[in-house]
Structure 1
Amino acid sequence: MSIYTNLPKLFVMLLLMLANASLVLAQDSDEHVAEQAQSNRAPSNSNVYFILQAHKKNYILPLIYTDNFNEQAYQDVPSLSGDEFKDIEAKYQLSVKFPLFNPGFLVDNDSFHFGMTIQSWWQIYADEISKPFRETNYQPEFFYRLPIGWQPFDGNVTLGLGVEHQSNGRSQVISRSWNRIYGEVIYTHGLFKAYFRPWYRLPEDEKESPDDPKGDDNPDIGDYMGHYQLQLQYAVYDVGMEMVIRNNLSTHKGAVELGLSFPLGSGLRGYLQYFTGYGESMIDYDHNQQRIGIGIMLDSDF
């Protein structure tokens, strides 16, 4: 079956999603919000901050291919069969944040947000199994950020602290989840940004049996997802480049993700994504694969 059969339906869905997202997402960066807070502290204008803003990247990849599909994860699920899934699917990410206080609620220019990121992998080309959403990951978080006024190499440093939950919202043998507390150091210099985020996984009780709904679904997740993330971004002539690295220094397992974006006009950018390693999704946290995709993202500071 040709993969192009479903493209018209997919792009209609894409346009509807982007149109809806463009109505609710404010594309102001954290730096822009901080500048507004300095220039206008009047209580009558305080509600300008309490709107949904873009958090992480918002994109859809109508085509994403894996070289090693994780059939093993679905073998114990009677209603699913890994060999019925396709190696080519669609993926999207929707990420927003909402300020819980005006900037500067503790000290000048600080911020406290609630964020939500949703990633989904859609088997749009699997006609034989009714094109299911194979995996959806939910990542709510609370985080605090504070610019500290340190300017090494004429850049700016911001410190952050957050707590987040991540899960695939499933039950029993395909349930995956964990909770983390993380610190963050953000360095910006012109079009260059670097994020260093170490984390500590909050412990959970052990399961009494594999079918026990209570307890840790994935006690070894740290061995594969690592204990920190390093993210580097740079732009040249409006072409954005990004590299994300995760690693566990003991097991030497982790992942690398590369991204490339370029302008298309009307607030949209073309987006290429390459991933290699473990944990591209929660169901794949202990599965090694390479994935490459192409699609469209909403314009951002990427």
Structure 2
Amino acid sequence: MREPPSVRAAIEIKPASAQASDADDSAPLDSLQPPPVVKKIKRSFLENFSTYEPVYFIYGPDDPAAKFQFSFMYRILADEGYLARKFPVLKGLSFAYTQRSLWDIEGDSSPFYDTSYMPELFCAYMMPAEKTKGGGFNWLGWQAGIGHESNGRDGDASRSMNKVSARALVSFGNLDGWRMILMPRIWGYIGDMSDNPDLDDYRGYGDLTVTLGKNDSVNLVVHMRAGQRLKKGAVQVDLTYPLDAVFKNFAGYFMIQYWNGYGESLLNYDKRTDTIRFGISLVR
């Protein structure tokens, strides 16, 4: 019987560097792998989210010792949508939510002293950056809308209010350098305020925020609120400095906040307090 002819095969094994050179060098590595299916399913419009009020956590010597705040806004309409094109003013239609808590972190069981829940619906217009001047006076925009604030409690501890407000933003100086920004705001109360009928005596009908600083340096914000006959208002001073100026690659700000006046908490809006706290701010 004749033996079947033998079959010979040669296998060439190339070094990894050689194999890689045979591929298209211009193709990114990610493009060679099929994306996970979850990447093909759109679950949010992240480009419509942005920051709103400052975000921080601070701590001080007086009770309640800790205070923190987080805040975001969501632009409701897309620029290319029918309503935005038909009514350009609606391009700035936005929903915002801010939550601020005073935390008795050193007390038994570390209870929250009081929390304010603040949803808002407003229209805003901000001047495009390319239309602002290099220095001097700049009109930055305006905002007008309706907002709610409550502490989420019931009974004698319940506090709530609804208000309509409008504010303007102007700046002096170089927006890329040192500048001062003024934000005057006025408001009026609407709806039932039976759980805190004299709140307007302490919260007043307007405030002024003054910001002095530079993007990559120190920033000073003074928030002044006028109460009844200018005797029951409040002043809050926030001083922040970027941490990456000292600790590289650390995204945040060192923050000092000083408060003096009425209404730091919605629960005891008619009590005057005076305190200072230190901590970290993620958005100033």
Shared fold (TM-score greater than 0.5)?
yes
Partner secondary structure for residue 282 of structure 1: coil
The alpha-carbon distance between structure 1 residues 192 and 146, as it changes in their structure 2 partners (threshold 3 A), is same
The alpha-carbon distance between structure 1 residues 65 and 203, as it changes in their structure 2 partners (threshold 3 A), is farther
Of 56, 66, 69, the residue aligned with 1:90 is 66
Are 2:64 and 2:103, in contact at CA under 8 Å, matched by a contact in 1?
no
Distance, in Å, in 2 between the alignment partners of 1:154 and 1:60 is 33
Q: Once the two structures are superposed, what CA deviation does each residue of 1:202-230 show, in whole Å capped at 9, x if it has no partner?
A: 142xxxxxxxxxx6110100101111010
Correspondence 1:245 to 2:224: yes
Are 2:90 and 2:123, in contact at CA under 8 Å, matched by a contact in 1?
no
Of 94, 103, 121, the residue aligned with 1:142 is 121
Partner of 1:255: 234
Distance, in Å, in 1 between the alignment partners of 2:163 and 2:89 is 27
Are 1:163 and 1:179, in contact at CA under 8 Å, matched by a contact in 2?
yes
Partner secondary structure for residue 284 of structure 1: coil
Partner of 2:47: 49
Q: Once the two structures are superposed, what CA deviation does each residue of 1:63-101 show, in whole Å capped at 9, x if it has no partner?
A: 2244xxxxxxxxxxxxxxxxxxxx252111011111111
Of 261, 274, 277, the residue aligned with 1:277 is 261
Of 262, 268, 272, the residue aligned with 2:252 is 268
Of 169, 178, 184, the residue aligned with 1:186 is 169
**RMSD over aligned Cα atoms:** 2.4
Q: Which amino acid aligns with 1:64?
A: G
Partner of 1:158: 141
Correspondence 1:286 to 2:278: no
The alpha-carbon distance between structure 1 residues 65 and 201, as it changes in their structure 2 partners (threshold 3 A), is farther
Partner of 2:183: 195
The share of aligned pairs that are identical, in percent, is 28
Q: Which amino acid aligns with 1:133?
A: F
Unmatched tracts of structure 1, length 5 or more: 1-46, 67-86, 205-214
The alpha-carbon distance between structure 1 residues 249 and 132, as it changes in their structure 2 partners (threshold 3 A), is closer
Partner of 2:105: 124
Partner secondary structure for residue 139 of structure 1: strand
Are 2:137 and 2:171, in contact at CA under 8 Å, matched by a contact in 1?
no
Partner secondary structure for residue 243 of structure 2: strand
Partner secondary structure for residue 283 of structure 1: coil
Distance, in Å, in 1 between the alignment partners of 2:233 and 2:218 is 27
Aligned-pair distance for 1:121? Answer: 1.4
Q: Which amino acid aligns with 1:231?
A: T
Aligned-pair distance for 1:147? Answer: 4.1
Q: Once the two structures are superposed, what CA deviation does each residue of 1:143-186 show, in whole Å capped at 9, x if it has no partner?
A: 11124789894312312111000010001011111000001111
Q: Which amino acid aligns with 1:197?
A: R
Partner of 1:64: 60
Of 212, 216, 220, the residue aligned with 2:194 is 216
Of 169, 176, 183, the residue aligned with 2:152 is 169
Partner of 2:3: none
Q: Which amino acid aligns with 1:125?
A: E
Distance, in Å, in 1 between the alignment partners of 2:54 and 2:154 is 28
Partner secondary structure for residue 77 of structure 2: coil
Distance, in Å, in 1 between the alignment partners of 2:227 and 2:251 is 37
Partner secondary structure for residue 196 of structure 2: coil
Are 1:223 and 1:251, in contact at CA under 8 Å, matched by a contact in 2?
no
Structure (1/2) with the larger helix percentage: 1
Distance, in Å, in 1 between the alignment partners of 2:189 and 2:201 is 11
Aligned-pair distance for 1:109? Answer: 9.3
Q: Which has the larger radius of gyration?
A: 2
Distance, in Å, in 2 between the alignment partners of 1:124 and 1:150 is 45
Runs of 4 or more consecutive aligned structure 1 residues displaced over 3 Å after TM superposition: 147-154
Q: Which amino acid aligns with 1:60?
A: F
